[in-house]
Structure 1
Amino acid sequence: MHSLLLPPRSTIREQHARFLPHPERSQQLHALVFHEMPGISDAQAVGESFSGTSAIPDNDVISSALISNALVRASLEDLVMECATAVAGGRWRRSFQLIHHLMQRTSGAERDALDRVVRHFVDGLAARVVSQLGESHVTGQLLPQSSTITNTELQTAYLSLNRVTPFIRFAHLTANQAILEAFQGSHSVHIIDMNIMQGVQWPPLMQALAGREGGAPRIRISGVGSDWRILERTGNLLTTFAASLGLPMFEFHALHARYGRDLLDICSPSSLDIREGDALAINVSIPQHKLILQDQYSFVRLVRSLRPDIVTLSDRQMNRPDIHSLRDAFRHYRALFDSLEATVPPSSQDRINVEDVWLRGEIMQLFSDSSTIDYDGLQMMVGFPHLEWKRLLRLEGFQPIPHSAFAVSQARLLLRLHYPSEGYEIRGEDGDSLLMGWQDISLFGVSAWIV
């Protein structure tokens, strides 16, 4: 059995050098100034009740000292939840009070992982308030500087995430092993990567196929991406690597999909050049394109129509259909920040890239206006997050296949050799996925599906 554990690091280093960022550090918010909204008095705003357990008393008249004491006693996690509830309910004065307090509590020079993740959530909530009220109703530093992340910054942060945490390498390793086993005996193989990024997943699989008994198959990779320039560069790098392995019959096809819905336009047999006799693997990887629920149905039906030999799915455990609360998302990100704090020096540029670009971007996305989607009548102020891939795959006749013992042992070896921290763990399968987590919290999962 070929091992996929050791990817060609020279390829990753070369790609990282090509994507060095020049990020502008976004300014943090330090204070709030509010222009009174018509019809909302201080007494009304302060006197409103919270739903559920509240950190702030619900008396009609509450002294500033009592409110201040209640805020100080409350946990940061509870206050973030209260703030999100207030923002979702349009209780603006309470929202501003909580945002201001949370900013003060997390503004110290020696911030720990909890402080940092809270600050990103608070910035997301503050941005949501501005988007709801409009800039004419808020002043001062509640108006954030542009939080737009450039494609270069995003690509660099992805490489940093791949380098300093095991999650991306675990996902690639486990998905590749399932694909390698599905391709056994095939003379012509086609991989469709629904979000190829820089293509770092595929050199180890290409290397394993090149060394296969009986000779290497003909290999085609169709890569979906949002940037033509990066797609072209990725194709050139993979083609060069294939030549170095002596793979004369290698093809790369770039597929441009700027938005999630573009996937529906390019996922047709003619667009993908589906050929009779090819073993076909479809890889849905991290990060996933964001599709509204109806488009997810359409996408999975299209995948089914392509008759793949295997579909590999890498997903965030935050995305499970039974998770609907912002608290679960908060704990997911807190575990990620805890893992970085425990394993990567605070001065590491890679850690800064991951926390302040990749993870911050995801957290800010949770609160963006475009992320409010109605799922079966449930309005969620969460945009990333309620993905239904597994349920939809089952509805279309797909069945999960168990990961081989070799795949599981390879994942454990990855942690033992490269990430020896006691916090990371392989949690076994949940019925569908092989899971990786941090200190009893499952964070990433990989599953494989066949019809």
Structure 2
Amino acid sequence: MLMEEDMEEKIHILQESLDLQAKEKSFYEVIGKKYPPSPQPESDRLSRCLESPDYYPYVNPHNSATSLNFVRDGLSGSPVSPLHIRDMYSESQSVWNFKKGVKEASKFLPSEYNLSVNVDVNGLLGQDPEGASNRGAERSPSEFRGKKNGHAVERDLEEERRSKLPATYLESYLPIEEFDNLLLHSMGEGEKKFTAYRADLKNAMSKGVLQTEQIKGSNGRRGSGKKHKRKKEVIDLRTLLISCAQAVAADDPRSAGELLKQIRQHSSPFGDGNQRMAHYFADGLEARLAGTGSQIHKALVNKRTTTEEYLRAHYTFIASSPFRKISNFATNKTIITKAQKATRIHIIDFGIHYGFQWPTFIQRIAGREGGPPKLRITGIDFPQPGFRPAERIEDTGRRLAHYAKAFNVPFEYKAIAQKWETIKVEDLKIDEDEFVAVTCLYRTKNLLDETVMAENSARTTVLNLIRKINPAIFFHGIVNGAYSAPFFVTRFREVLFHFSALFDMLETNVPREKPERVLIERDIFGKDALNVIACEGWERVERPETYKQWQVRNMRAGFSQVPFDREVMSMSRHKVKTFYHKDFVIDEESQWLLLGWKGRIIYAMSCWKPV
């Protein structure tokens, strides 16, 4: 209504201007002079401006200065006041922004509203949505008139639209063959491709090391190169980071800013492992200093990564490091062994995420002697922000159903997207004749502990829930970290040592130019580190504990530990020693399977059953 009233007011102003023009014309006739002509009738020009906010020669929100000059020059000699022109420009821009907002909002509405989404995400859509063929007709050539670079702006608008699409448009049209090639990597043709990819990574790293040694050798023969090398050696990024964290903790923004400036000069998301880690840690320190940690972390969480991108990063991660590969193997092998006589298997997966672990499990049980059992998977995860909190794990269920159908395995899937501590046993629909296995791999670190919830913490509540489920086996994988301390500097030191090992591991095993490595470092390691460094209280969701602390928790909750089968341990050791870098660590202590890098234990896994 307000907009309509404003528009009526502008039309009234236009009418007054036209009346004034008519009076001036009659005055010129009285004095015997000719009224000066206009290059274009103002009434027509201004009416077009008022009636069509999308008339880009007048209103160009991307280049408002150019547009305003164009209007002003085009109306030189007009009796209409410049103030009126500015008002009309503002009004037209407001209407244009309003229409643009409506158009953007329409992309989030369901398809039954007959709204088209004119975008093809990386060519992944099988066909253009309705109306896509008219994409070119929707914009007139005059839309980009007055812009310095029409193609660049169009590309920016396309990227903006793409980022605002619901994840359905990014993930639902991926060809299933891509998943087959990247997920079924434990048997048959998939295993051959996986082995070849792992060999390619090793060859690429060997060539990179050789080139680096040659460059170092050539620099050593030049005086300037040798001098430059000495300069680089004195930069200790870890010391700079710790000093900066101490300045932030002491509320000394001046010193912290100077140290941050030094860190920025010697860090980069595309440099070596230390430089990349320093870059993301500097982001965290800067966010803590500015008090924007929670906002930045929420933005990173809300950022949508396509399933294909995440899957390729996962594939690179398991090819270059044994952490997830070994934990998936130990879990799947143990379930298959213990449930070999069961006709119904129910897996309750806390933190299922994309469910990359389960296609190979379905593939293996399909060949079981006497036929495969009926498989039920209950996929549990934290709700996603946005309109569809269960979207990701529902997509996971559809993919798993595809594999179950392909391998003739009877299959049923249930998705639960809510806070884990609010789930009840009744929600899981457990049958008496099922072999129930509960898995929770590396996600209990995201449950709040007693420092936030003094009584009945989320960790205790979830462990009590699992005990009530009374599973035949409970697999618990944890991130072995000690950076949950309430004191910032102590926590910073621990998280620095932890992620130093992870960035060094990638530096040693994955080429720097691999986009999958950048995604892992930025969207997983960098995001987690920022949360630990820049967030506090409820907003700090990265709270790992050591495997010894979790052992006490699990026993207190009413579980007794079950050792891994000797065959599983033997095969796991063989895989690590044979296929991965010599600096990876695999060990066993207190019936925990320990995995790490260069002597630092990063992940730990164990089996439990209710007492």
TM-score (norm: length of structure 1): 0.72
Of residues 478, 481, 503 in structure 2, which corresponds to 1:315? 478
Amino acid at match of 1:180: I
Of residues 439, 458, 461 in structure 2, which corresponds to 1:295? 458
Of residues 108, 113, 129 in structure 1, which corresponds to 2:273? 113
2:558 is the counterpart of 1:397: yes
- How far is the alpha carbon of 1:178 from its aligned partner? 2.6
Provide the residue aligned with 1:384 in structure 2.
543
Provide the residue aligned with 1:193 in structure 2.
349
Provide the residue aligned with 2:570 in structure 1.
409
2:266 is the counterpart of 1:100: no
Matches of 2:519 and 2:592, distance apart in 1: 28
Of residues 355, 362, 367 in structure 2, which corresponds to 1:206? 362
Provide the residue aligned with 1:435 in structure 2.
594
- How far is the alpha carbon of 1:283 from its aligned partner? 0.7
Provide the residue aligned with 1:150 in structure 2.
303
1:194–1:282 CA contact under 8 A, matched in 2: yes
Deviates more, 1:83-92 or 1:306-315: 83-92
1:154–1:357 CA contact under 8 A, matched in 2: no
Provide the residue aligned with 2:146 in structure 1.
none
2:491 is the counterpart of 1:330: no
What pairs with 1:73-84 in structure 2 (closer than 5 Å)?
75-84=236-245
Matches of 2:422 and 2:289, distance apart in 1: 35
SS of structure 2 residue aligned to 1:252 = strand
Matches of 1:356 and 1:282, distance apart in 2: 30
Provide the residue aligned with 2:335 in structure 1.
179
1:103–1:122 CA contact under 8 A, matched in 2: yes
Provide the residue aligned with 1:44 in structure 2.
none
- Closer/same/farther in 2, CA of residues 322 and 408 from structure 1, 3 Å limit: farther
SS of structure 1 residue aligned to 2:463 = helix
The gaps in structure 2 that reach 5 residues or longer are 1-183, 194-232, 384-388, 450-456
- How far is the alpha carbon of 1:168 from its aligned partner? 1.7
- Closer/same/farther in 2, CA of residues 123 and 405 from structure 1, 3 Å limit: same
Matches of 1:114 and 1:102, distance apart in 2: 11
SS of structure 2 residue aligned to 1:292 = coil
Amino acid at match of 1:242: A
Aligned length: 366
SS of structure 1 residue aligned to 2:481 = helix
Q: Looking at secondary structure, tell me which structure has more strand per residue.
A: 1
1:103–1:119 CA contact under 8 A, matched in 2: yes
Structure with the bigger RCO (C-alpha within 8 Å, sep 6+) is 1
2:503 is the counterpart of 1:341: no
Amino acid at match of 1:256: A
Q: Describe the superposition over 1:53-80 as per-residue Cα deviations: whole angstroms up to 9, x where unpaired.
A: xxxxxxxxxxxxxxxxxxx968322332
SS of structure 2 residue aligned to 1:362 = helix
Q: Looking at secondary structure, tell me which structure has more helix per residue.
A: 2
RMSD: 3.4
1:222–1:255 CA contact under 8 A, matched in 2: yes
- How far is the alpha carbon of 1:147 from its aligned partner? 4.7
What pairs with 1:417-432 in structure 2 (closer than 5 Å)?
419-426=579-586, 428-432=587-591
Of residues 126, 135, 152 in structure 1, which corresponds to 2:286? 126
Amino acid at match of 1:224: I
Provide the residue aligned with 2:440 in structure 1.
284
- How far is the alpha carbon of 1:424 from its aligned partner? 2.1
1:314–1:446 CA contact under 8 A, matched in 2: yes
Q: Describe the superposition over 1:171-226 as per-residue Cα deviations: whole angstroms up to 9, x where unpaired.
A: 21122223223323222211011111221111222233232334322210000133
Deviates more, 1:385-394 or 1:221-230: 385-394
**Aligned residues: percent identity?**
25
- How far is the alpha carbon of 1:161 from its aligned partner? 3.4
Matches of 2:249 and 2:509, distance apart in 1: 36
Provide the residue aligned with 1:252 in structure 2.
413
- Closer/same/farther in 2, CA of residues 146 and 274 from structure 1, 3 Å limit: closer
Amino acid at match of 1:243: K
Amino acid at match of 1:341: E
1:149–1:361 CA contact under 8 A, matched in 2: no
- How far is the alpha carbon of 1:235 from its aligned partner? 1.1
- How far is the alpha carbon of 1:167 from its aligned partner? 1.9
- Closer/same/farther in 2, CA of residues 275 and 89 from structure 1, 3 Å limit: farther
2:183 is the counterpart of 1:6: no
Structure 1 or 2, whichever has the larger Rg, is 2
Provide the residue aligned with 1:304 in structure 2.
467
Matches of 1:413 and 1:150, distance apart in 2: 38
Q: Describe the superposition over 1:320-345 as per-residue Cα deviations: whole angstroms up to 9, x where unpaired.
A: 98997432321221111111111111
Amino acid at match of 1:116: R
Matches of 1:231 and 1:366, distance apart in 2: 26
SS of structure 2 residue aligned to 1:367 = helix
2:607 is the counterpart of 1:448: yes
- Closer/same/farther in 2, CA of residues 437 and 391 from structure 1, 3 Å limit: same
SS of structure 2 residue aligned to 1:151 = coil
Matches of 1:424 and 1:81, distance apart in 2: 27
The gaps in structure 1 that reach 5 residues or longer are 14-71, 136-142, 374-380
Matches of 2:522 and 2:325, distance apart in 1: 21
Matches of 1:203 and 1:255, distance apart in 2: 20
SS of structure 2 residue aligned to 1:223 = strand
- Closer/same/farther in 2, CA of residues 144 and 270 from structure 1, 3 Å limit: closer
2:481–2:544 CA contact under 8 A, matched in 1: yes
Amino acid at match of 2:408: G
2:396 is the counterpart of 1:234: yes
- How far is the alpha carbon of 1:319 from its aligned partner? 5.2
Matches of 1:424 and 1:316, distance apart in 2: 16
